[in-house]
Amino acid sequence: MIVLKEGDKAPVFSGKDQNGRKISLVDYKGKKLVLYFYPQDLTPTCTLQACNLRDNYSLLKSKGFEILGVSPDDEAKHKKFEQRNKLPFPLIADTAHRILEKYGVWDWKQLFGHKYMGVLRTTFVIDEKGIIQKIFLKPNSKLHTEEIIKAME
């Protein structure tokens, strides 16, 4: 359950990306960060969202945003997802759900009457000082960049 609110300090985290590099929230100090949590690599909706951010990467960068994706998939699956979709941003492998739990996005979900633990698709926009400026619950995967830019104007 997401208990973080806009105006809260973003929880500090670290993890490894698809290239085995260690990435931490501290690496983004002084930068605006679009931190997006998604359920699974190589699935239709997650691919739509990642490709929307990829297609608008230059626009987001021109407005000062960095992008970082997080899912419970491992580094190898992230690498395949990155290569297949030519993603220009890092994807953290959170197989132990530590970051997902810190942000409250690892929770019970339901599909066709079946309950299971999974990722609540959520995006946090974090400012240069590490403060959460905006939280997108259930972002529109096809129009995610537009949502971010409109909300942050």
Residues with catalytic roles? 46
Which parts of the chain are beta strand (E)? 14-16, 22-24, 32-37, 65-71, 91-93, 106-111, 114-119, 122-126, 132-137
Rounded CA-CA distance 3/23 in Å is 24
Rounded CA-CA distance 81/76 in Å is 9
**Token pair 């605006």 is at which residue?**
32
